[in-house]
Amino acid sequence: MIFDLNSVSLALVLGLIFLILFEVMRLHFTRAQNPPGPTPFPFVGTVPYFIKDPMGSIRSISQYGELSSVYPGRRPAIVLNTLQITEEALVQKASSFSGRPALPLIEWTTKGLGIAMVQYGHSWRQQRRFALHTLRNFGLGKKSLEERVLDEARYLVTEILKAEGTAFDPGHTVQNAVSNIICAVVFGDRFEYDNKRFGYLLKILNENIVMMGSAIGQIFNLVPIIKHLPGPHQKVIQNNTELEDFIRKEVKGHRQTLDPQNPRDFIDAYLLEIEKQKSHEDSTFHEENMVRSAADLFFAGTDTTATTIRWGLIFLMDSPDVQERCHEEIVQVLGYDRRPSMDDRDKLPYTCATVHEIQRCANIVPLGVFHETTQPTKLRGYDIPKGTMIMTNLTAIFTDKEHWKCPDTFNPENFLDENGHFYKPEAFIPFSIGPRVCLGEILARTELFLYFVSLLQQIHFSWPPNSQHPDMDGIMGVVRYPHPFKIICRSRDAKD
């Protein structure tokens, strides 16, 4: 049977109209069953809003109430906009809200392995328990970790002061310094700031974090079939492969020099655990999981803390009075020569408050690390199906007038009581809460305090003359980066 072109065209147009009408009706029905939120477009949901203005879209979500809905595709995701509802979901109903969504781009790169984004279940429990135990064995929460951070802080101060008096971008230097701590724990070694190979790895790590949270990543998650087509998304898998190849080379070297009686780092410990677990049928310990877990630790221990420090430099340069008050407090307690310690926190309440305020205002993961429901559940009267994505609106929680004295401005007073003593409001949850709280919280808190105290003790930071202030909405990726910026640093000494 032969169809003329007009008939075919009419059939296609009618089919498309029917498809759109069906999708509009489906969205109407779905929205009626879920919390309120911005109006989604057919097929692509609310993704266009987030691509056009990521932070503006996130800031607007809380206007719909303590619970709201967004559509990162055709299915709704639930956003938790207050501390109370977040505690109810992630703590009181933790077993129902501790999954991780199977985002196509994450699945493509991780193959469902590792710690950070793996599904809630046996593998996650085994890998997280082992990682925590091993990190503690290699110094997490101990004086030995403090010493390692303080040694690196000395290298960082020296490296920054090499550029004294000239405008320079501190991004790579800060990232290298932070990365060296987790590298020492995972790989047993640190890397010099001029190491080109390691500098390249940090660069591709940044590229992936930006791309995975950008328009490219969101489009991929909507239409994952494009992984078979050329395009910028292919750079994500290329970078991921290079990072994993680097780790595999480290594993090969470790295997050749392994002393079972004296494990040196995370990789040695993991190799020994693989052998130990060989006879257990339910073991999830194998080389591919080791590579992915090491990559997760490398990312978690590098980018989040380094990004927070970069935001911190911006806030401190924007608030020179805060910077000076921190310096004066530090010098009064430590002088110019004594190295800080975590035990000094009580003696440095204003500085400690400033470090926490930097974390609040940096807000590097504005919607938290995504969760997913592991079973059908209820929340505030809404039926939430299994497999629903859950987002924690840290942007709303960190600016909630109920919890903060100065919610919309950078002010360390948010963490000081009426007597000038440090205190931490319950709404300060940058590492999340519940069973999936950030694995590296202790490491991050140690690094942030000791690095900032070391920097503010020794260096004054300021904007270069006539410099353009960066857009404070930043660059949205997996984490929220500040736009590139330059600083001027000046060494401090007793003569100041």
pLDDT tens, residue by residue, 231-259: 888 998 899 999 999 999 999 999 999 99
pLDDT tens, residue by residue, 325-364: 999 999 999 999 999 999 999 999 999 999 999 999 999 9
Query: Residue 341's CB: how many other CB atoms inside 10 A?
Result: 16
The CA distance from 71 to 78, in Å, is 9
Which tokens is 188 given? 């047993």
Which uninterrupted H or E stretch holds 295? helix 287-300
Indicate the pLDDT class of residue 141, thresholds 50, 70 and 90. Answer: low
169 or 219, which is more confident: 169
Hey, where are the domains in the chain? 35-491
pLDDT the model gives residue 486? 96
Q: Rounded mean pLDDT of 23-29? A: 77
Residue 20 has pLDDT above 90, yes or no: no
Q: Is 372 helix (H, G, I), strand (E, B) or coil?
A: strand
130 or 395, which is more confident: 395
Indicate the pLDDT class of residue 123, thresholds 50, 70 and 90. Answer: confident
pLDDT the model gives residue 339? 94
Residue 2 has pLDDT above 70, yes or no: no
**In which residue are the tokens 């320079």 written?**
168
Indicate the pLDDT class of residue 279, thresholds 50, 70 and 90. Answer: confident
Can you name the residues that pair with 487 across neighbouring β-strands? 168
What percent of the chain lies above the pLDDT cut of 70? 98
Burial of 295 (0-12, 13-18, 19+ CB in 10 A): buried
Burial of 247 (0-12, 13-18, 19+ CB in 10 A): buried
Which tokens is 255 given? 């295997």
Question: CB–CB of 334/457 below 8 Å?
Answer: yes
The end-to-end CA distance of the chain, in Å, is 92
Residue 394 has pLDDT above 90, yes or no: yes
Which tokens is 361 given? 């205002």
Residue 316 has pLDDT above 90, yes or no: yes
Which tokens is 307 given? 């990004």
Residue 3 has pLDDT above 70, yes or no: no
Indicate the pLDDT class of residue 495, thresholds 50, 70 and 90. Answer: low
pLDDT the model gives residue 111? 86
pLDDT the model gives residue 332? 96
State the average pLDDT for the chain.
90
Which tokens is 191 given? 């890397």
Residue 369 amino acid letter: V
Question: CB–CB of 423/417 below 8 Å?
Answer: yes
pLDDT the model gives residue 395? 97
Which tokens is 297 given? 């630790």
Give Cβ neighbours of residue 252 (< 8 Å, ≥ 6 apart): none
Q: Rounded mean pLDDT of 131-157? A: 85
Burial of 64 (0-12, 13-18, 19+ CB in 10 A): middle
pLDDT the model gives residue 1? 46
Which uninterrupted H or E stretch holds 389? strand 389-392
pLDDT the model gives residue 462? 96
**In which residue are the tokens 């994993």 written?**
244
Handedness of CA 487, 488, 492, 496 (dihedral sign): negative
Burial of 162 (0-12, 13-18, 19+ CB in 10 A): exposed
Considering the domain 35-491, what is its CATH architecture? Orthogonal Bundle (1.10)
Question: CB–CB of 232/222 below 8 Å?
Answer: no
The CA distance from 332 to 327, in Å, is 8
Indicate the pLDDT class of residue 494, thresholds 50, 70 and 90. Answer: low
Q: How many helices (H) and strands (E) does the chain have?
A: 19, 10
Which uninterrupted H or E stretch holds 121? none
159 or 30, which is more confident: 159
pLDDT the model gives residue 496? 52
91 or 31, which is more confident: 91
pTM attached to this predicted model: 0.91
Handedness of CA 103, 231, 248, 207 (dihedral sign): negative
* Nearest alpha carbon to residue 307 among 299, 317, 295: 299
Handedness of CA 20, 24, 29, 35 (dihedral sign): positive
Residue 460 has pLDDT above 90, yes or no: yes
Q: Is 189 helix (H, G, I), strand (E, B) or coil?
A: coil
What percent of the chain lies above the pLDDT cut of 90? 60
pLDDT the model gives residue 142? 63
